[in-house]
Amino acid sequence: MNPLRMKLEAGKTILGTLVSTTDPSMCEIMGYVGYDCVWIDMEHTCMSYKDVLCHLNAARATDIPAVVRLPQNDMTATKKVLEMGPEGVIFPMVRSAREVQSVMEMTLYPPDGTRGFGPLRAIGYGAVDAREYVTKKNLELCRFVQVEHIDLIEELDAVMELPYVDGFIFGPNDLSASLGEFLHVFGDATMSKIRLAVEKLRSRGKIVGLAGGISEREIKTWSALGLDMLFAGADWCFVYDRGKTTLEMMKKYAEG
């Protein structure tokens, strides 16, 4: 069974991080560090499909489940990534129940959806029976939508009625923009909407996650929401921050 789904169904809190650079060793390192999940980002990066495939292989080598954030509402990208067999996919910037239903259908075979047939790595290149994959194993995929706009929060009641949505992952930065508080993620309006939406989702037994920040204040604030999934930091900022700190130490002692 999908290891990420197993962890979520067992009630484990998933602590993950983002990978935005193209080198697959980054996914491998995050697995060795001990994260529960790695988020491979195609929305804001220059990653190619081959880069994503290499990341997925590296993640599997260290037994870390991987989710891929897809380009916004892109059927072609969705199909290509699904054939690579990630443990989960994330749809960013969805703003309505209708759009959520549409992106869910991209992940499902007829009659439930619009996905075309052509699995590759997803069926181990033939190791898994294709019919079994279509009727059973495909449904193990974790399907997440990002809550990044007030419009989606206002339609949560309708969205929560839709099948196949496994979880909701808040993106505070873009959500704050839709509330007139761009990048002020701790603004009154943004925090109020996040808290109310999290409470509503949890009352319905939905998986709730959030991705944002790296500071202790951010991690402490988001953790207090009682999330099922928290993604913090990213490969590039880990390298930059540690590199900068090391350089400052070197300068300090060299000048001394």
Q: Map out the domains of the chain as residue ranges.
A: 3-255
Output the pLDDT for position 225: 97
Output the pLDDT for position 223: 98
Output the pLDDT for position 80: 97
Output the pLDDT for position 255: 84
pTM for the model: 0.96
| Mean pLDDT within 173-177 | 98
Contacts for 137 with CB less than 8 Å, ≥ 6 apart:
123, 128
Contacts for 82 with CB less than 8 Å, ≥ 6 apart:
89, 107, 115, 119, 122, 141
Coil, strand or helix at 123: helix
Output the pLDDT for position 20: 98
Output the pLDDT for position 244: 98
pLDDT of residue 58 exceeding 80, the answer is: yes
Q: Which helix (H) or strand (E) holds 152?
A: helix 150-154
Encode pLDDT of 205-254 as tens digits: 999 999 999 999 999 999 999 999 999 999 999 999 999 999 999 999 99
Contact assessment for residue 96 and residue 126, using Cβ atoms and an 8 Å cutoff: no
Encode pLDDT of 104-160 as tens digits: 999 999 999 999 999 999 999 999 999 999 999 999 999 999 999 999 999 999 999
Q: What CATH topology corresponds to 3-255?
A: TIM Barrel (3.20.20)
Contact assessment for residue 42 and residue 71, using Cβ atoms and an 8 Å cutoff: yes
| Mean pLDDT within 165-181 | 98
Output the pLDDT for position 256: 72
**Axis-axis angle for helices 49-61, 75-82 (nearest 10):** 30
